């Protein structure tokens, strides 16, 4: 290979670049990014950076000098718009193109939109640096924040806004916040937020939204109307794959990858939020939208591009910080799993998730020692009864 193009100025993209050079690739590397900013870390955007103010240099994954030292050409503020896999050429928004020998797809995800919010001045999403900058300006004006969606982004932002002194209401159509973790975990986080002054309204959707001056009027399915000075739509993300339409790269809820993160198209690999692959640890095809996965897959995809072709096998790990609660999750979890709550206290929670008699996931809140033990058990596919013990009765939940 003479030239590798990395599409996506992301955590996965940066780690792919670093791994390519560490593996001895001497050719050209071009990093293409849709945003003008150097690659930056995203988790603080809903927490510290949103509360204390955005400092672009503090959020950067690498300084410009790092890219210069590795001979990386930066093409930022120029989104990918198309891919010709036959001629190995990437098309950009400036109507220019780049030839490549190897291509790393690391375009991540974009915020899922609610069409009814698009014309509302008070409505925000939170995915990018610029999103966070606009949202912070809105929160500084105070008032009432309404969050649609009780996932990580919604709840982290709710906690940040409460610390800034805003009134906060979180709305979700599911029975509890973070419902994919199961009812027990969702109830625990409901209690946490309500103790800190956040109002949680679940089991209801949004019937309509209206602009009232600079504010938003949120009408719920229950008939209740909420007046929002700021409205955050946090209903998840979708893989950034539209630019691949018409190419030979297959995608459906992410780029379809082989176990080694190759795409079946010569010279093309994928990594991070955008990649869907078969993880042999769980014998399951999955897509993981979290920090650690992006780091590991970026490095692994570079190895595949260099000819290593080893399967990427991992026990997913991710986290969220809300108020004083530090949730750490390992493995695969679902509300359909058998869920055993091993500890439930006001300031800590431990839950194990099993399927077909085997532990496959765990949630630990303010419990770092249990996290390490359960992570090892998941990797070793330990029998679920060995984890729960004879004195604990697993609690089975259904959607």
CATH, residue 358: 3.30.390.30
Residue 237 predicted with pLDDT over 70:
yes
Measured distance CA(142)–CA(124) in Å, rounded? 15
- pLDDT for 393 equals 44
Residue 396 confidence (pLDDT): 41
The residues near 248 (Cβ < 8 Å, ≥ 6 apart) are 85, 86, 265
Per-residue model confidence (pLDDT) at position 388 = 85
In the predicted structure, residue 50 carries a pLDDT above the cut 60 = yes
- For 125-175, what is each residue's pLDDT tens digit? 999 999 999 999 999 999 999 999 999 999 999 999 999 999 999 999 999
Please write the tens of the pLDDT for every residue from 325-335.
999 999 999 99
Residue 138 included in any domain: yes
Specify whether 273 is located in the same domain as 292. Answer: yes
How much of the chain, in percent, has pLDDT values that exceed 90?
94
For residue 260, pLDDT beyond 60 = yes
Q: Are residues 119 and 222 in the same domain?
A: yes
If asked whether residues 355 and 336 sit together in one domain, one would say yes
State residue 398's pLDDT score: 33
82 plus 148 within the same structural domain: no
What is the average pLDDT score of the chain?
95
What dihedral do alpha carbons 72, 89, 94, 111 form, nearest 10°?
-80
- Same domain for 133 and 218, yes or no, is yes
Tokens 């986290």 correspond to 319
Domain that holds residue 206: 113-233
- Asked if residue 26 belongs to a domain, the reply is yes
For the chain, where are the alpha helices, taking DSSP H only?
11-22, 48-52, 56-59, 64-69, 129-140, 152-163, 183-195, 291-305, 368-379, 384-388
Q: Please compute the mean of the pLDDT values over residues 274-282 and round it to a whole number.
A: 96
- Tens-digit pLDDT profile for residues 93-118: 988 999 999 999 999 999 998 988 88
Please tell me the predicted confidence (pLDDT) of residue 17: 98
In a domain, 25, yes or no: yes
Helices 291-305 and 11-22, packing angle to 10 deg? 40
Give the CATH number of the domain where residue 38 resides: 3.50.50.60
Give 119's contacts (C-beta < 8 A, 6+ positions apart). Answer: 211
> Is 130 inside any structural domain?
yes
How high is the pLDDT of residue 119? 86
If asked whether residues 54 and 121 sit together in one domain, one would say: no
312 pLDDT higher than 90: yes
- pLDDT score for 21: 98
For residue 181, name the pLDDT band (cuts at 50, 70, 90): very high
One domain for residues 32 and 70: yes
Residues 243 and 282 in one domain: yes
Give the pLDDT confidence score for residue 389 in this predicted structure.
Answer: 77
From the list 127, 97, 135, the residue with the least C-alpha distance to 111 is 127
């Amino acid at each position: 290979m003479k030239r590798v193009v990395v599409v996506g100025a992301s955590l996965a993209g940066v780690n792919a670049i670093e791994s390519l050079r560490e593996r001895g690739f001497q050719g050209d590397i071009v990093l293409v990014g849709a945003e003008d900013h150097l690659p930056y870390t995203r988790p603080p955007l809903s927490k510290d950076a949103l509360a204390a103010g955005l400092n672009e240099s503090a959020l950067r994954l690498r300084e410009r000098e790092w890219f210069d030292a590795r001979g990386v050409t930066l093409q930022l503020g120029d989104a990918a718009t198309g891919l010709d896999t036959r001629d190995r050429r990437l098309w950009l928004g400036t109507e220019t193109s780049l030839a490549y020998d190897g291509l790393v797809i690391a375009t991540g995800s974009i915020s899922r939109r609610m069409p009814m919010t698009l014309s509302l001045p008070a409505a925000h999403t939170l995915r990018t640096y610029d999103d966070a900058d606009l949202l912070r300006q809105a929160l500084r004006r105070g008032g009432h924040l309404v969050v649609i969606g009780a996932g990580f982004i919604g709840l982290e932002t709710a906690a940040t806004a409460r610390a800034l002194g805003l009134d906060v209401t979180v709305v979700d159509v599911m029975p509890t916040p973070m419902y994919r973790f199961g009812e027990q975990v969702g109830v625990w986080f409901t209690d946490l937020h309500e103790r800190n002054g956040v109002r949680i309204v679940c089991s209801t959707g949004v019937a309509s939204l209206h602009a009232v001056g600079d504010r938003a009027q949120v009408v719920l399915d229950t008939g209740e109307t909420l007046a929002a000075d700021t409205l955050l739509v946090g209903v998840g993300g979708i893989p950034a794959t539209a630019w691949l339409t018409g190419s030979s790269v297959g995608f459906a809820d992410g780029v379809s990858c082989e176990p080694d993160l190759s795409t079946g198209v010569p010279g093309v690999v994928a990594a991070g939020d955008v990649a869907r692959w078969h993880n042999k640890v769980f014998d399951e095809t999955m897509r993981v939208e979290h920090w650690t996965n992006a780091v590991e897959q970026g490095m692994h995809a570079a190895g595949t591009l260099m000819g290593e072709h080893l399967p990427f096998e991992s026990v997913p790990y991710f986290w969220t910080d809300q108020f004083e609660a530090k949730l750490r999750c390992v493995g695969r979890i679902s509300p359909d799993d058998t869920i055993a709550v091993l500890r439930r206290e006001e300031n800590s929670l431990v839950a194990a998730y099993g399927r077909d008699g085997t532990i496959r996931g765990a949630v630990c809140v303010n419990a770092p020692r249990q996290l390490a033990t359960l992570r090892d058990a998941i990797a070793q596919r330990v029998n679920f009864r060995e984890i729960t013990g004879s004195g604990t009765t697993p609690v089975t939940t259904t959607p």
